[in-house]
Structure 1
Amino acid sequence: MSGPDRLLRLLQLMRVMAPPITANRLAVERGVSVRSIYRDIELLRLSGAQIEGERGYGYRLIEDYALPPQTFDRLEIEAIAVGLGEVRQMGDPDLARAAEAVLAKVAATLPDDREQQLLHSISHVYRPSGRYGSLPHLNAIRQACWGEQEIEIGYRDQAGTASRRIIRPLAIVYNDHVLTVLAWCRLRDDFRMFRIDRVDGVSSKGTSFRPRRASLLREYLAKLSAKANEK
């Protein structure tokens, strides 16, 4: 395998693997030695890829030095079109605008024939109405997730009973017809799901839980997975 092909394959692995990515994991996936991975990581960095981390601790790909057009075959272009089409139809105006921007940026990196395949793909998403409706507090919750900031929410449960909760928002989950925020609830001292359409208000507590969001989310998802396996 040529050097450029080898580096592109390593870069693709780092795009799809959850960080921190150890050299051992990369070596197993690529079928090469750990020493080869260390060498190729340095070559990627010299080529312009922004990769955080070091030997013994794992790596994180921050920014690709390039996203070569040839990495997208025709089926991958269809997948991009469907994915962005779904986002535009969800009823979240901010994400819809972001999807339009992503489509334009990706199209601009493609050669003419691939650009036309993306802009005039055979796969389309059609939904007569937005799946989730208007959710006035969604953006505030999203910002709190990004910032790893505790927030206080007004919340109505299934019976309509109102309460105030201080939560650590971890992730927003797009279910079939409901958006939920996965969070650590201070009141219950445990993980909880909150339907965003039942949130009456959001205010910042000014308390950071950085850098615990990723580890808390992994723990919560592991518990959900274990519970699902018990059924």
Structure 2
Amino acid sequence: MAKTDRLFRLLHLIRGLTPPVTAARLAAAMEVSDRTIYRDIETLRAAGARIEGAAGLGYTMTEDPALPPQTFTQLEIEALVLGLSDVQARGDAPLAAAAADALTKITATLPERQQRQAVQAINLVHRFAQPAAPAIDITLLREASWAEEALEIRYRDNAGAVTNRRVHPLALAYLDNAVMLLGWCCLRRDFRQFKVTSILAVQRTGDSFRPHRVPLLRDYVARLRRGRNPAPPPRE
């Protein structure tokens, strides 16, 4: 791991772990020696990070120059905690981890009083049922949507028929009991919802459909608003 990446990782751990956090615990999480942790903490201090503590006592972040201060109302804090906790509860593993990291970073920017409000938030999330895990890596769908890149998918439809499709991915929709890929199906020449757990295989093509994603998504939303298609697009 490059030193810059290691320092960012160390900052994140000091922000997120219950203080004071010992060098041994940081070293175990970073998979480096205690001596490396001591050196890196001195480097962060020299760069302006206010990290209190010492070897054998543990460390606490008292001021983080990498993050600007934020001010939220208590209700806004509750909304942030609730929303990100829900993503942690129902998102795929990378998305859940990103939500946890985002909450840690946001909390670290708050004044001390508001940090306590975030830690002691009264709105909690618990989901008794989780959507079935997909057979494919949902990260591929997310990255292709960001990149506006066509996908080749192998899909089992509601009737059990398996087909190969080229899809222009537009968005992922998290419904109560399923995650759907919203996209333009080149085979059907129309919008479709593909249940992620019914996608048997997926491959990125490298073929861009930019700048068509924004117009496609805009047309899809406009169709729903006009009531021409009051129900969701057909599930394939």
Judge same fold: TM > 0.5, yes or no. Answer: yes
Counterparts of 1:25-64 in structure 2, within 5 Å, are none
Q: What secondary structure, in the 3-state scheme, does the structure 2 residue paired with 1:81 have? A: helix
Distance 1:89-1:186 versus aligned 2 partners, 3 A rule: same
Shift of 1:137: 3.1
| 1:97 counterpart residue number | 97
Which structure has the greater CA radius of gyration?
2
CA RMSD of aligned residues (A): 1.9
2:75 paired with 1:75 = yes
| 1:199 counterpart residue number | 199
Q: Within 1, Cα distance between the matches of 2:230 and 2:138?
A: 32
Distance 1:201-1:128 versus aligned 2 partners, 3 A rule: same
Q: Kindly, what percent of the aligned residue pairs are identical?
A: 40
| 1:53 counterpart residue number | none
Per-residue CA shift, 1:2-33, capped at 9, x if unaligned? xxxxxxxxxxxxxxxxxxxxxxxxxxxxxxxx
Q: How many residues align?
A: 164
Shift of 1:120: 1.6
Q: What secondary structure, in the 3-state scheme, does the structure 2 residue paired with 1:69 have? A: coil
Distance 1:229-1:151 versus aligned 2 partners, 3 A rule: closer
Q: Is the Cα–Cα contact under 8 Å of residues 184 and 192 in structure 1 kept in the other structure? A: yes
Counterparts of 1:19-168 in structure 2, within 5 Å, are 68-70=69-71, 72-129=72-129, 131-135=130-134, 136-168=136-168
Q: Is the Cα–Cα contact under 8 Å of residues 81 and 118 in structure 1 kept in the other structure? A: yes
Distance 1:208-1:195 versus aligned 2 partners, 3 A rule: same
Per-residue CA shift, 1:197-220, capped at 9, x if unaligned? 100000122210112212211111
Query: What code does the residue aligned with 2:131 have?
Result: Y
**5+ long unaligned stretches in structure 1:** 1-65
Shift of 1:133: 2.9
Q: TM-score, normalised by structure 2?
A: 0.65
**5+ long unaligned stretches in structure 2:** 1-66, 232-236
Per-residue CA shift, 1:43-62, capped at 9, x if unaligned? xxxxxxxxxxxxxxxxxxxx
Q: Within 1, Cα distance between the matches of 2:137 and 2:121?
A: 34
Query: What code does the residue aligned with 1:133 have?
Result: A
| 1:43 counterpart residue number | none
Query: What code does the residue aligned with 1:155 have?
Result: Y
Q: What secondary structure, in the 3-state scheme, does the structure 2 residue paired with 1:166 have? A: strand
Query: What code does the residue aligned with 2:87 have?
Result: V
| 2:172 counterpart residue number | 172
Q: TM-score, normalised by structure 1?
A: 0.67
Q: Within 2, Cα distance between the matches of 1:229 and 1:196?
A: 22
